[in-house]
Amino acid sequence: MQGGSPCGRKAGYCPDRKQVRRETKNTKSRAGRRAVPLPGPLVVMLRKHKEVQARERKTAGNLWTESDYVFTKPLGGPLSPNTDYHDWKRLLEDARVRDARLHDARHTAATVLMLLGIPDRVIDQIMGWEAGTSSRMRARYLHVPDAMLKEVAQKIADAIWGPAPNAPMDKDQNNEG
């Protein structure tokens, strides 16, 4: 099998390709079903989106496909996974940042939570990691930046040997006399 399809052509161009129906599945664990508090500005944006969607539903009438999805096609119903993929790639390009998988945003989110000083247990809950696997998941998802490691090294040095001689002095130290 070459080219990712039975006939050897690129998957989307193979006449032997089978149409696959999209399915939704339950989350991998109980931790995956959770309520996560949202930042206020995001709640406002989601409420506006819901209002727009209600107008779209009304306009579509009986053409609307009802679903429990937050983001849908113009006539309701689930978006294609390709939509997320292409929107994500366009967003990265517009932002002029390096190319990355959408899943990599989970790594970024976990790392940002760590940098904000959020306790591990709270990170686990937000990310949906179960207690038995959370340390393994943190090891996989959290990425410690070099700047943070250097900062820790400096704090250790300051604790053991005191501040470096060329460290800026406090105002009180300048006004002795």
Q: What digits encode the pLDDT tens for the residues 115-161?
A: 999 999 999 999 989 888 888 999 999 999 999 999 999 999 999 99
Stated pTM of the model: 0.66
What residue segments make up the domains of the chain, in order of their start?
Answer: 101-162
CA distance 50 to 32: 24
Q: Which two tokens stand for residue 14?
A: 């193979």
What count of other Cβ atoms lies within 10 Å of the Cβ of residue 14? Answer: 15
pLDDT tens-digit series, residues 43-55? 999 999 999 999 9
- Two tokens, residue 15: 């006449």
